Amino acid sequence: MRIGQPEPKRGNTRLLVILIVASLVLLTVYFREGDDGLLHEARRITLGASAPIARLGTAITSPVRAVGSFFEGLGVSRTRLEALEEQNAELRARLAELEEARQENERLRALVEFAEERRFSKLGARVIQRPPSSWEGVIMVDRGAEDGVEPGMPVISAQGLVGQVAEVSAHSATVRLITDRQSGVAAMVQSSRALGIVRGSIDGGLTLDFLDREFLPQPGDVVITSGLGGVYPKGIVVGDVVTVDDRRGELYPRIAITSRVPVDRLEEVFVLVGAMAEVDAGEVE
């Protein structure tokens, strides 16, 4: 049995035609009547009745629209934030470079002023290796025999005496620190002019030995090179007195001092080369 296609209902077409004609008639009447006409009045009543519903719908959908706007704005802000973070990283890197240059300039200026005040013949050098452990009292600098450096030459920093050149190669030199147990510096207490020898130790500490008990220093007194022995020029700061132990029964008091030179942060030094004028020590703060 063949089943045919269902015929379209004609009633629906008639209803559509009727609605279109009615709409045209109502539009014609609406535009021809005055503002006080029946259709205008019906429109005002309808709008007044639907206004609360519209406001309620707006209130209900407002949070949803706000959340959508938030996430849309968040996407834009995140893009801007990434760009700003990249710019910030570049500025911070540049600032770090400028700060490093400023600090290096200050260190070098202090070092130059220190050497010029004492009229030393000097050769600037950079520290290229620090002590690998507390047992190693040496550093390495980037100046050597090609630059006129020789074993025995003193090495200083802006803070004071660093040590003495121990070994030299063509383009580098090993400097034995005053804190090394094999070091010895002819020194004196600046305030009393009492003489002694500053020695290093295996743990990196400094002691002032062979000082006459009659001239006991006080903690905080400055110790400088005496110039005796012809190794170090006179007047270079060696360190500051920390403790004084005057035990009876011992020939000399035990005096501990500390160096002002920050070996673990030392970056630039001067090697004192050539003839050095001996300069009397003034007040050192």
Q: Which pLDDT score, from 0 to 100, does residue 269 have?
A: 93
Residue with more model confidence, 32 or 145: 145
- Distance CA(144)–CA(173), nearest Å, equals 5
Task: For residue 114, name the pLDDT band (cuts at 50, 70, 90).
Answer: low
- Distance CA(215)–CA(192), nearest Å, equals 7
Q: Is the dihedral of CA 104, 109, 115, 121 positive or negative?
A: positive
Task: For residue 259, name the pLDDT band (cuts at 50, 70, 90).
Answer: very high
On the question of pLDDT at 105 being above 70, the answer is no
Residue with more model confidence, 41 or 117: 41
Most confident of 153-157, 246-250, 270-274: 153-157
- Distance CA(188)–CA(211), nearest Å, equals 9
Most confident of 83-92, 162-171, 262-271: 162-171
On the question of pLDDT at 284 being above 50, the answer is no
Cross-strand partners of 208: 198
CA–chain centroid gap for 82, Å, is 22
On the question of pLDDT at 155 being above 80, the answer is yes
Fold of 122-272: Thrombin, subunit H (2.40.10)
Q: Which pLDDT score, from 0 to 100, does residue 69 have?
A: 58
Cross-strand partners of 199: 184, 207
Q: Which pLDDT score, from 0 to 100, does residue 1 have?
A: 44
pTM here? Answer: 0.57
For 195-240, the pLDDT digits (tens) are 999 999 888 899 999 998 889 999 999 999 998 988 898 889 999 9
Token pair 């130059």 is at which residue? 112
Compute φ and ψ for 110, nearest 5 degrees: -65, -40
User: Among residues 5, 269, 254, which one has the least CA distance to residue 130?
Assistant: 269
On the question of pLDDT at 242 being above 60, the answer is yes
